[in-house]
Amino acid sequence: MQLLPIEMKRTLLAAFAAFILIFPLASCNSDDSSTSLTMSGSVTYDFPTYVITGKTYYSTISGISVPDTCSYMWYVPLKSTDSIRTRTLQFTIPDTLCTSSVLGAAKANGYYSSTKTVSFTTIDPSLNGSITGVGYENNGSFRDPRDNKLYYTAHIGDLDWMASNLAYEGAGHSYEDQDALQTILGRLYSWNEATGGESGSGLAGGPRGICPKGWTIPTKEDWEDLAKALNNGTELPFFDLWDGIGGTATADAYLNGDRFWPYSPDNLHTNKLYWNALPAGNFTYAGDTFAGLSDYGFWWTALKKDNGTAYYRYIYYDTDTFPTNSADPDDFGASVRCVKLHE
């Protein structure tokens, strides 16, 4: 029987607790713990906090300088109920949607153990895998010839829109540099990366920029065309707040069974025409910081402001608006949706 996400989490926590009972984290192999010494250094290794099901990850543990005879080992609840005595972990993620952990440890006779634990969430990027609640009923699809990635498209108004965020790796960042996340959320690009530094106007008249061939960055007119379609045929000016449009553009999505947008009665996420907005957050280049995951979605436009900043549209989880703001074209990282005229 397939476990629900919350049941799976409880099962993994129980297994982890059982492991701690047989492998105390602050113990040693000597008979007299009162004479135990503390190791010099600390256990270090890199392991991503989001991983893709079916993919193999490698991680090498190190960091202890004294004693130089310590034994390194791993415990991975999804892999085994026993410790794995090896410096380099090779771990193929099973097809299980859950949050689990990896524990790396160093042990030596006469010394307290040193440990490090990293929690990770598994991601299945396939359709109706980790992300559910999005809609593709109004869609076609195409593959980006640059990397063969599949994108669904939504025919809205006079345009075809990408129904998910661009994930081309030629520029930009995945959120928190976690590559698994870009498979479901796309990447975050500065305006200059997204547009190539060029503005545009008119329906489907934006620059190609980072988009696949035949697709462009949405212009002021493209966004207004989207708003008109989401607003039952009534036009909305580009600089309007677009009150009532935020909920019609967002999907009531779930990540591994947990609600992605936090619940708010002010945004019901009806996803009217399957634009499938998700809260992918943003990136600030100057501070090398990420923020807003599960709270905000930001999308670039092909329009610059008089002061040199560039416009984006955004949705916050507890409002039903879809307004504009502007940011430094080199510093702010936002999502990208590409468009083309519907044929």
Contact 190, 285 (CB under 8 A): yes
Q: How many CB atoms lie within 10 A of CB 291?
A: 13
Confidence of residue 9 (pLDDT cuts 50, 70, 90): low
Helices marked H in 38-160 — which ranges? Answer: none
Rounded CA-CA distance 307/158 in Å is 31
Q: Is 232 helix (H, G, I), strand (E, B) or coil?
A: coil
Average predicted confidence (pLDDT) for the chain:
91
Res 151: pLDDT = 96
> pLDDT at residue 205 above 60?
yes
Query: Under 8 Å CB-to-CB from 24, ≥6 apart: which residues?
Result: 113
Res 33: pLDDT = 53
Res 138: pLDDT = 66
Res 343: pLDDT = 87
Summarised one tens digit per residue, pLDDT across range 320-335 is 999 999 999 999 999 9
Q: Tell me the two tokens of residue 319.
A: 């409002």
Q: Tell me the two tokens of residue 194.
A: 């997204």
Mean pLDDT computed over 81-105: 94
299 pairs with which residues across the strands?
A: 313, 335
Confidence of residue 287 (pLDDT cuts 50, 70, 90): confident
Query: Under 8 Å CB-to-CB from 9, ≥6 apart: which residues?
Result: 98, 99
> pLDDT at residue 317 above 70?
yes
List the domain boundaries for the chain: 5-123, 131-341
Picking from 174, 225, 235, the residue whose alpha carbon sits closest to that of residue 203 is 225
Task: Indicate whether this model's pTM tops 0.85.
Answer: yes
Q: Tell me the two tokens of residue 162.
A: 């990408």
* In 4-134, beta strands by DSSP E: 40-44, 50-52, 56-60, 62-66, 71-75, 88-92, 99-107, 114-123, 131-132
Summarised one tens digit per residue, pLDDT across range 14-52 is 445 444 434 444 333 433 456 899 999 999 999 999 999
Pairing state between β 159-162 and 339-341: antiparallel
DSSP secondary structure letter of residue 268: -
Fold of 5-123: Immunoglobulin-like (2.60.40)
